[in-house]
């Protein structure tokens, strides 16, 4: 099981969006499950689990409360050393994602890649498509990318060091810094870095609020699958920094990034339980901030 899963928030379009992404990426992509939870503040909510190229995502239709922006995007790697059709595939996927969307950076040659583009799709989520031939350790085909937008423009290294200190099987990969003369970006801030958490790759960049008028929000959160209460307590204690954001297993860290600290067992309850069991568990978890696995288990079992 993928330990950390990107979770996408939609108004009503979670199922339609997942179907669209599966059609765009094709091979090794599918919808794993669609289920509905009732009795939430947003009414009935579709919860969708899907994978793109064997990378797991989740999404929810829960009302028009959060709008996606480029602070979190998904880097999609096309490696010509492994796929002779990589250049054609990057164009084909770009042409599908751009329908109803908009270009953030044109698909063309850049100093760092012979073919790269940044596109926002029709649902507001953004994708960085890059033709790459990585030296050294192989990178996966899809990688979440974090853009830390601050007044100083210097936060990505501090934030990623923080995450590296919390998660297991964590290490930094490459890091490249901005040179002088790139104002309002400060010299020495992070142009690009990648790192692993629980063996999963992520990338990060610094951005200046003078250039970008957006920040992290709940439209994209990172769901951490926890095996027991000890894990739930550990990640909650390390990450939660905004008490008013704590609700239903959600939290915000000190950099504004949203996380969901979720027991694997609860997902199994929701997937396998009877309608009555699912209703009881839903009613119970909606009242919680940090999840209490023992309490959820008792409710599920009708005790």
DSSP for 26-48 reads -TT-EEEEEEEEEEETTEEEEEE
pLDDT tens series, the chain, 303 aa = 899 999 999 999 999 999 999 999 998 999 999 999 998 888 999 999 999 998 999 999 999 999 999 999 999 999 998 888 999 999 999 999 999 999 999 999 999 899 999 999 999 999 999 998 767 678 899 999 999 998 887 899 999 999 999 999 999 999 999 999 888 888 899 999 999 999 999 999 999 888 888 999 999 999 999 999 999 999 999 999 999 999 999 999 999 999 999 999 999 999 999 999 999 999 999 999 999 999 999 999 997
CATH class of the 227-303 domain in this structure: alpha beta
Report phi then psi at 25, rounded to 5: -85, -25
Query: β-pairing, 55-61 with 102-110?
Result: unpaired
Fold of the domain spanning 72-176+188-205: 3.30.720
Q: Can you tell me the distance from the alpha carbon of 16 to that of 125, in angstroms, rounded to the nearest whole number?
A: 14
The DSSP bridge partners found for residue 259 are 222, 251
In the chain, where the domains are located: 72-176+188-205, 227-303
Closest CA to 289 of 253, 239, 236: 236
Closest CA to 59 of 20, 99, 102: 20
In the block, which residue shows the tokens 């690009």?
A: 192
């Amino acid at each position: 099981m993928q330990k950390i899963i990107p979770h996408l928030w939609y108004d009503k379009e979670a199922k339609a969006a997942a179907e669209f992404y599966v059609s765009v990426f094709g091979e090794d992509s599918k919808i794993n499950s669609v289920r509905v939870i009732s009795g939430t503040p947003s009414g009935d909510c579709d919860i969708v689990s899907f994978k793109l190229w064997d990378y797991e995502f989740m999404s929810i239709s829960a009302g028009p409360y959060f709008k996606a922006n480029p602070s979190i995007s998904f880097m999609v790697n096309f490696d010509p050393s492994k796929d002779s059709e990589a250049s054609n595939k990057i164009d084909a996927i770009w042409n599908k994602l751009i329908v109803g969307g908009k270009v953030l950076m044109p698909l063309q040659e850049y100093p760092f890649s012979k073919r790269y583009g940044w596109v926002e799709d029709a649902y507001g989520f953004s994708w960085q498509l890059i033709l790459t031939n990585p030296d050294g350790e192989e990178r996966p085909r899809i990688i979440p990318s974090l853009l830390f937008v601050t007044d100083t423009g210097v936060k990505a290294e501090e934030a990623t060091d923080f995450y590296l200190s919390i998660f297991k099987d964590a290490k930094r990969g490459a890091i490249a810094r901005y040179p002088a003369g790139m104002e309002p970006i400060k010299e020495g801030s992070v142009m690009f870095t990648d790192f692993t958490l629980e063996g999963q790759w992520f990338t990060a960049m610094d951005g200046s609020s003078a250039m970008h008028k957006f920040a992290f929000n709940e439209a994209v959160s990172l769901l951490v699958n926890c095996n027991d209460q000890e894990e739930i307590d550990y990640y909650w204690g390390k990450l939660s920094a905004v008490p008013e954001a704590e609700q239903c297993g959600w939290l915000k860290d000190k950099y504004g990034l949203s996380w969901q600290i979720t027991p694997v067992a609860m997902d199994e309850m929701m997937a396998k339980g009877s309608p009555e069991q699912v209703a009881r568990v839903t009613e119970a978890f909606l009242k919680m901030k940090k999840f209490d696995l023992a309490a959820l288990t008792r409710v599920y079992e009708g005790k």
